[in-house]
Copies of this chain bind each other. A is one copy, B any other.
Amino acid sequence: MSRGRRKSTAKVSLGYLEMDIMPIVWRHGLVTVKEVFEELYPSRKLAYTTIMTVMRRLAHKGILEVDDSVVPFVYQPKVGSQELAAAVVDEVVDRLLEGSSAPLVLHYLEHGKISSAEQGKIKTLLRGRVKTE
């Protein structure tokens, strides 16, 4: 059945500030600490060095990649948003829901905002599904 191992991104655990920074990085693709700092500043009055510390930690975790051959350093994401979100959420699903994602899916279908386009994708997926169980 090859339900295979928890794939690549193992041992994922992110703090809230780390999570808040990631979307900015994804939007930019290549980004400096300063750019993240300035984009985040209006909503979160954090020190520049705070952002730097956190971005360094993200790099240390393998979630960001740093090019330190130029100054200021240029950061870029090593994993995509869906991949990372799925990895983080998997930890929760595995623990709280003991692996069954269905309740969560139902929850979001009921309460989340899903565009028509996405509903279409879902229907298509459902048609072609192999019923696992």
Enumerate chain A interface residues (CB-CB to B < 8 A): 3, 13-14, 16, 19-20, 22-23, 81-82, 84-86, 88-89, 91-93, 95-116, 118-119, 121-123, 125-126, 129, 131-133
Q: Is the CB of B104 within 8 A of A89?
A: yes
Q: Is the CB of A106 within 8 A of B91?
A: no
Q: List 11 A-B contacts (CB under 8 A).
A: A3-B113, A16-B91, A86-B108, A92-B92, A100-B112, A101-B113, A102-B114, A114-B132, A119-B126, A119-B129, A122-B122
Q: Is the CB of A109 within 8 A of B84?
A: no
Q: Which of A19, A82, A112, A123 has the most CB of B within 10 A?
A: A112
